Amino acid sequence: MEIFSWMNDQLLRMEWLSDLVKFIVEAAGLPVDTRIGASIHFFIYDVIKIFILLSVLIFCISYIQSFFPPERTRRILGGYSGITANILGALLGTVTPFCSCSSIPLFIGFTNAGLPIGVTFSFLISSPMVDLASVILLASIFNWGIALAYVIVGLIIAVAGGSLISALKLEDQVEPFVFNSAMTEAEEEVLTVKERVDFGKDQVKAIIAKVWKYVLIGVGIGAMIHNWIPQEAIAVVLGADKWYSVIVATFVGVPIYADIFGTLPIAEALLAKGVGLGTVLAFMMGVTTLSLPSIIMLKNVIRKKLLIIFVGIVTIGIIIVGYTFNAFGHLFI
């Protein structure tokens, strides 16, 4: 147990990096017990830690993902039905693109291939909200209890949401062109180990190039919240004792276009300021799953009724999760 704790502190939390950054910042004449020094330490430490973990995790996940091209994924999902198919759709979403906008082309492909729309919606909800990288990153900033809890509730929302959409028989709410799009059945390519490694490297470059600015913005906001905004000011709006905090956090997250990597530093700072765990999770889920750009893109492939039902299901699910974790969050911290 002590070895696991040491590995968690040094490899995930990177306490050695925190100590190194602290030494450098204080050597520059900025004590970390001052607002400026603490902000600079928070920013440098979190940015370096997140990018190191991101690079390693994206490479490993992309290597795994290379075994699940769209053709194979469609075949796997096509062999199941009912709740089993929804569970598989949600689980496969954890090893696919890291944001909702990049998940939508796969959603179109799966729907066109004849998969039930409920299964494709389980995938669409899970893909941006829950991924293998989020487990490790959450554990590196919070702890394994919170990380696993986040993943489990995310998968529950994805499975429940997809199952409900299946039960409502809303196939007529998908735009006809989605079903009629020309698709070619590409022969599945067998990659060599080197090709899979190259694919992993390319994914690291592509995803880092896409998310780096959101990470910097997120860490910057986190540093400001952590060191400059009084706890009392945050407690007025998002305090754990405020009945409306979860609702506010969910809807505040919607206009923000980011992914879990950019929201984690903000979540870390909010939790440190006494914001309830459920409120923090609701904010993260709102940002990753209900961002305006993804909703606008989704509006182009499904009709208004289904879009409203999708947003409503996810929103209600997030709010329920938020209040539940605010009530029992002390068990995870």
Whether the Cβ atoms of residue 215 and residue 50 lie closer than 8 Å to each other: yes
pLDDT of the residue at 101: 57
Whole-angstrom CA distances from 72 to 67, 68, 108, 255 are 8, 6, 16, 34
* Bridge partners of residue 302, in order along the sequence: 174
**Residue-averaged pLDDT of the chain:** 81
pLDDT of the residue at 31: 92
* Bridge partners of residue 174, in order along the sequence: 302
Q: Over the stretch 244-289, which tens digit does the pLDDT of each residue have? A: 889 988 888 776 656 667 788 888 888 888 888 889 888 888 887 7
Q: Per-domain residue ranges for the chain?
A: 26-180+209-331
Whether the Cβ atoms of residue 254 and residue 327 lie closer than 8 Å to each other: no
pTM value surpassing 0.85: no
Whole-angstrom CA distances from 217 to 53, 113, 212, 222 are 18, 38, 9, 8
pLDDT of the residue at 253: 73
pLDDT of the residue at 22: 94
Q: What does the angle CA 51 – CA 53 – CA 57 come to, to the nearest 5 degrees?
A: 115
Which tokens is 180 given?
A: 């009629």
Q: Over the stretch 165-191, which tens digit does the pLDDT of each residue have? A: 999 888 888 887 776 655 455 555 678
Average pLDDT over residues 143-157: 86
Instruction: Give burial (CB, 10 Å; 0-12/13-18/19+) of 189.
Output: exposed
Which tokens is 271 given?
A: 């939790």
- For the cut 60, the answer to whether the pLDDT of residue 100 exceeds it is no
Separation of alpha carbons 121 and 20, rounded Å: 45
Query: What pLDDT band is residue 117 in, cutting at 50, 70 and 90?
Result: confident
pLDDT of the residue at 97: 57
Helices 117-129, 100-112: axis angle to 10 degrees equals 160
Q: Over the stretch 8-46, which tens digit does the pLDDT of each residue have? A: 778 878 889 999 999 999 999 999 889 899 999 999 998
Which tokens is 213 given?
A: 């600015």
